[in-house]
Homo-oligomer: A and B are copies of this chain.
Amino acid sequence: MAPTLVANGDTVKSSVTSRLASVYSEVQNSRLDHALPLPSVLKKPFKLVDGPRSSAAGNPDGIAKLFPCLFGQPSAMLVPESAGFGLGQNLKIGVVLSGGQAPGGHNVISGIFDYLQDRCKGSTLYGFKGGPAGIMKCKYVVLTSEYIYPYRNQGGFDMICSGRDKIETPEQFKQAEETALKLDLDGIVVIGGDDSNTNACLLAENFRSKNMKTHVIGCPKTIDGDLKCKEVPTSFGFDTACKIYAEMIGNVMIDARSTGKYYHFVRLMGRAASHITLECALQTHPNITLIGEEVAAKKQTLKNVTDYIADVICKRVKLGYNYGVILVPEGLIDFIPEVQLLIAELNEILAHDVVDEGGLWKKKLKDQSLQLFELLPPAIQEQLMLERDPHGNVQVAKIETEKMLIQMVETELEQRKQKGAYKGQFKGQSHFFGYEGRCGLPSNFDSTYCYALGYAAGALLHGGKTGLISSVGNLAAPVEKWTVGGTALTSLMDVERRHGKFKPVIKKAMVELEGAPFKKLASMREEWALKNRYISPGPIQFVGPASDSVNHTLLLELGVQA
């Protein structure tokens, strides 16, 4: 029996979980009973049909060596079949959340749970607490209908929490085996990003190599949107996060236009790939959108980027616009080759030399790095020198890129002004949109997508599969037509040399400069730069107009005009 949660003001009495002790807003409450449609194939009996033997994304020989049991196994599709496979089998399944949060994680778990309830009555679902460490330490909670209910369609990962530990050493694999044996596990579902899914596959390989019955299925999670491929068109959380950011950006745009005197530099979460920034640009039409992958491909310097922004600002002032909105991906400077060089040299110097007040140490920098260092605003220079991680390394992640750009653009425009090439008054405003997006309540799309991913993971385990990633496709179509299956994790992998060892990796999906989403941006950005085509999407996660729309990136990648 599900507990009744009530709105604002009343506290639900229960000691089961922290959520049950919390107060829910009307929206949170209404989301609890939000109906989730399932793809048709999941609603009736089905069977699993294997595809052809698979290979790897790169270096198949290397992957074959690293995954001797699993390499080459086919992907599987669910297809309707009146016989289907047997109901009534009791399964013991564990589920774990791995890495950073993304809206929808709770729905994946709900989906697994409901699959087991619907198809394998009497099964047990264990929620491993605090990420993969929970598997190793056998820290878990038995997930029941009552336990899960308050998390349905809710944001966050707090049902079982997450963690960043990895199961990778022989001792750790041993611990995982002990847990699997102790709980008599038929399967584990790992909900995570590229690294976590790689590890899920290693775990699957390990269990298989020991002839254990425990299977492992992955699920694609990350707001960054950089875990995707043909069979897995998007990772969950991306849709919600982008919609939340885009609403805020749209508001800032109205402010920019009304006030008429600020350039808003908006930094957006997403350290590795710039998908979030690109998607938000497609939703809101900012004047300038910086895409890390483009900066890298064109081997741009920080000066190039600064000049590009300053150029647009100069053109706009001639049109009478002394304001604008600029989107900056969090990881921008990681994409700039000269910055990487500077950082490497600084790390070397800071590790071995005395940094004298007079600045003689700078002579140890190579010419290009010295020039770049001198170009940086003093506050950033200081940050680079002072804030270091426990290993003494410069902390690039701590640099507030949008503030650095504001200062650099300000300096550049000041110089242009003195030469008479710029007559405006530049004022920058910085913003960072991050945490508020990764823990929002999942959008209708993410709610439904995650539920299907979880339900599919249940089906794959029920069908005896291992080493697959839950794959729900045809996402531009109505939900009933979505396809469901599992993709061989080894088929997504390549080999990379890390710390002198060959490691399997699922390569992060970066923004493709030849892909439809970037090409759409590229085709529009001249117009967006000089004319003001701002769009304010408003809040569109749940109800009202556009609440069932899907993000532009996904639609464009699927060949649908967004």
Residues of A within 8 A of B (CB): 8, 11, 18, 21-31, 101, 154-158, 161-162, 244, 247-248, 250-252, 254-255, 257-260, 264, 285, 429, 431-432, 435-441, 531-546, 549
Contacts and interface: CB of A to CB of B under 8 A. Distances in A.
B27 A258 contact: no
A-B residue pairs, 9 tightest by C-beta = A27-B538, A539-B539, A543-B544, A156-B254, A255-B439, A26-B545, A26-B546, A156-B258, A254-B439
Contacts of A441: 251, 536, 538
B440 A436 contact: no
Contacts of A24: 535
Contacts of A549: 26
B251 A540 contact: no
Contact of A542 (B438, B440, B532, B538): B538
A251 B243 CA distance: 13
A272 B257 CA distance: 25
A29 B254 contact: no
A440 B29 contact: no
A278 to B, nearest CB: 16
A26 B252 contact: no
Given A25-B538, A156-B255, 16 more contacts: A25-B536, A25-B537, A26-B545, A28-B538, A30-B544, A101-B259, A154-B254, A155-B536, A156-B257, A158-B258, A161-B260, A244-B251, A247-B539, A431-B432, A539-B539, A544-B544
Contacts of A28: 535-536, 538
A542 B27 CA distance: 12
Query: How many copies are assembled?
Result: 2
Given A155-B254, A252-B435, A435-B264, A22 B538 contact: no
Nearest to A540: B27
A279 to B, nearest CB: 14
A527 to B, nearest CB: 10
Contacts of A254: 154-156, 158, 439-440
Contact of A546 (B21, B27, B250, B544): B27
Contact of A535 (B8, B432, B440): B8
Contacts of A440: 251, 254
Nearest to A241: B251
Contact of A25 (B8, B531, B541, B546): B546
Given A25-B537, A251-B435, A258 B101 contact: yes
A258 B435 contact: no
A539 B538 CA distance: 9
A435 B23 contact: no
Contacts of A248: 248, 436
Nearest to A438: B255
B533 A439 contact: no
B18 A257 contact: yes
Residue of A157, A244, A435, A535 ringed by the most chain B CB atoms within 10 A: A435
A251 B155 contact: yes
Contacts of A21: 531-532
A440 B155 CA distance: 23
A432 to B, nearest CB: 8
A264 B438 CA distance: 14
Residue of A24, A259, A436 ringed by the most chain B CB atoms within 10 A: A436
